[in-house]
Amino acid sequence: MPIKSVIGTETEFGITSKKVEGDDPVSSSLFVINHLRPFSSIRVLWDYENEDPLVDARGFTVEGEKERPTQDQNLSLNKPLENGGRLYVDGAHPEYSTPECTNPRDVVIYEKAGERLMHLCLENANRVRKEDKKFFIYKNNTDGKGNSYGYHENYLMLRSTQFDKIVQSLVPFLVTRQSFTGSGKVGTDNKADSATYQISQRADFFETLIDLNTMAKRPIVNTRDEPHADPRQFRRLHVIVGDANMSEFSTYLKVGTTALILQMIDNNHYLTGLELENPLQAIKAISRDITLKKTVRLANGKEYTPIEIQKAYLEQSHKYFDRIEGEPFVYEVMRYWEETLEKLEKDPSELSTKIDWLIKYELINTYREKKGYGWDNPKLAMMDLQYHDLNPDKGLYYTLVKDGYVDNFVSEGMVLVARDSPPRDTRAFFRGTCIKKFPKEVYATSWTSVLFDIGNFTIKRVPLLHPLKGTEVLVGDVLMRSETAEDLLRNLAA
């Protein structure tokens, strides 16, 4: 049987200001995340000891320098959060990682909590900026100038699962799932073939099938082998091919369907016969076909639409999960997946209140037709960007939600709770609760450990190598009856 799902996402946010010239995005990003109050007063380091992004899943390590900032740099770059997640600066962008979650609905909730935290940073930062230097932050994937920034998904898998089997089974799924996960885009980027409107923001930026890179020559399948868990038992599949979604439903289907496919692969239920003749060409062609009716060629010479390929994956999911007792979310995901594919095949406009690329298309195309604009009008590109604005008073997505034109999938109350509290059913519970309860004693933290400074120059590490340990059920009582970090360490050892 496959292991229980453990899922998380990382979102790099676009950042700019009114006075763009002379703006340093690294300094801007640092300035913004260091205005996360009241948490910014907490001085907790990020522990880089078990991180090595240079290890390749194909069995080798590439040359390069690991990130090892000084202590002052570390404190400035990283904000470990009370919800078990992490806010930090990666390259030239503010980035938010959700805590580990066991189901796609929780991923949506914690990803939305990250939007609220980023907006809190933005508000606080802008209060001390002059009007012409105020920041804007966007949850999108391209700056419109040929540059893309990432949105990454992470799925816990068994180390014993062969990587080449993952690639073979997963590529056709990843290439075609943009039909319901794309966030929509006016125009093109990266010197790609022209288009008026695309399904995906990221499709233009993939240039190779398999590789370790995430910023240059981006691959459809990323080979980073950094498990953030016991490497003898687990691997972490690092998926970089997806768009950052504003739509809660798109995010839910994106991580939910992918988790199902990976569970099947982990249990040796491989999906063959759907291999694409040219995945790199197909991912761009599908992005440009908003009818979803054009076919792509498979390696065996057959041709299928992206919806037909997705339906083949759905059929295999039913065959697999109908004969075992899957996790509760599995059957809900399959129901929504099936309903969505039926509507995409029949009439995609039926999903114009649920799926990002269709919500955005309906908004922009209605405005375009009303004004008589061509798709090359710069105002449409500006609307595209404004759709992703994290300011709820200005962002077009949030406006559509408030006006009832977009369907919510999770409650705002759950999002607000998740902003300050960790999931209860993963190791994030221990990490987040320790930061909240012992802020002065937590010296550093990472995905796999919490380090405590209990005085006398003594640092004690509590390992968290299994993502499903450190839960409320396992450690909640110990945490509740420990008044100090020293009490906690003594009680854990008892």
Catalytic residue ranges: 90
Task: Calculate Rg over the CA atoms of the chain.
Answer: 22
Q: Which residue has the tokens 């979102």?
A: 11
Looking at residue 297, its amino acid is R
**Residues facing 451 on adjacent strands:** 444, 461
Q: Is 45 helix (H, G, I), strand (E, B) or coil?
A: strand
The interaxial angle of helices 472-480 and 485-493, nearest 10 deg, is 130
| Residue 295: φ, ψ to 5° | -100, 160
Q: Going edge to edge, which strands form the sheet with 449-453?
A: 45-46, 442-445, 449-453, 459-463
Closest listed residue to residue 461, CA positions, set 417, 492, 440: 492
Decide if 239 contacts 153 (C-beta within 8 A). yes
Decide if 464 contacts 447 (C-beta within 8 A). yes
Q: Is 96 helix (H, G, I), strand (E, B) or coil?
A: strand
Looking at residue 144, its amino acid is G
Q: How far apart are CA 40 and CA 142, in angstroms?
A: 28
Q: Which residues contact 83 (CB under 8 A, 6 or more apart)?
A: 99, 110, 113, 418, 419, 420, 421, 422, 428, 432
Residue 402, phi-psi category: left (phi > 0), alpha (psi -120 to 50), beta (remainder): alpha
Q: How far apart are CA 16 and CA 1, in angstroms?
A: 47
